[in-house]
Structure 1
């Protein structure tokens, strides 16, 4: 295998791993080692302020062909949702995500999606249109953006995964399953309340 093909092979392996775990109810591990986070009975993992890892700077083209960088939202609470148009739990949680996104936007909460493993952008666009999703989503058909998360952090490990990133750009909470509106609000509230 040539050196130039190695990054592509790694991306393909990561995408395959995500697809194999796709649309599951999520795992309970965070990549091993001393992770500093705890999993609640509700399936939401959290990290106390001061022990959080920075989120990687995720950037690229959105499904609407616009440029987006996660770092441009520093100072806001960011809810990052990893989804695919083919994923049943993603379809079930989409209306909940959109409702909470609209409700919390005036309070400085920004939702961002990452569409993974959809080989054609039109599938992602049709999903957003069908479910009325108005917040931006990065288009990541090869799931390369998932490789930017460090092992042992609250990284997305299934589809869907949802992360809450604090105002300092650090990962505060994670769910590895589709979320109800109530669970989503419960996940965001403590981070939004931080000063």
Structure 2
């Protein structure tokens, strides 16, 4: 009887967890990133590094874009290319003036992103989790917004 109960509980647990979406870990401030913030929504995902000059120039544009997209249910997220964590990630984000959420855990595997050797690189991911565009080099808020609107209207 206890085996059946254990099996039933295992199945029930798996079913319950199955509805929880992807685990996006924590952000640069140590706060949990809820799956609802990325799943079933359009996402602008930017890879940056502290040593990258064009990244530094692009950050204010992405801050502006994140603010502009708040009302449109599109998330702007960053990922540190060098995979720095904890206090180092928070410090690097603050130094660059990043106001949008920086994911401590790289979601490349979840979205099947190719590893880029050039920075900055920005991906536009649709509400089904499919990469729709890879933008290499420094971007502007207006340029990303135009690309995003074109992709959304063609869906």
User: For residues 43-192 of structure 1, what are the structure 2 equivalents within 5 Å?
Assistant: 59-68=24-33, 72-117=37-82, 119=84, 121-140=86-105, 145-146=107-108, 150=112, 155-157=114-116, 158-192=118-152
Change (3 A) 1:123 1:73: same
Mapped contact 1:84–1:124 kept (Cα < 8 A):
no
- CA deviations over 1:9-35 (Å, ceiling 9, x no partner): xxxxxxxxxxxxxxxxxxxxxxxxxxx
Change (3 A) 1:134 1:103: same
Mapped contact 1:61–1:138 kept (Cα < 8 A):
yes
Change (3 A) 1:194 1:107: farther
Alpha-carbon distance in 1 for matches of 2:35, 2:54: 24
Mapped contact 2:28–2:93 kept (Cα < 8 A):
no
Taking structure 1 as the reference length, the TM-score comes to 0.57
Runs (4 or more) in structure 1 with deviation over 6 Å come to none
Deviation at 1:96, TM superposition (A): 0.3
Gaps of 5+ in 2: 1-21
Larger of the two Rg values belongs to structure: 2
Gaps of 5+ in 1: 1-56
- SS of 1:68's equivalent in the other structure is coil
Mapped contact 1:77–1:110 kept (Cα < 8 A):
yes
| More helix per residue | 2
Deviation at 1:105, TM superposition (A): 1.2
Taking structure 2 as the reference length, the TM-score comes to 0.69
- CA deviations over 1:64-99 (Å, ceiling 9, x no partner): 112226565223211011111222111110000010
Question: Does 1 or 2 have the higher relative contact order (CA < 8 Å, sep 6+)?
Answer: 1
Change (3 A) 1:169 1:119: closer
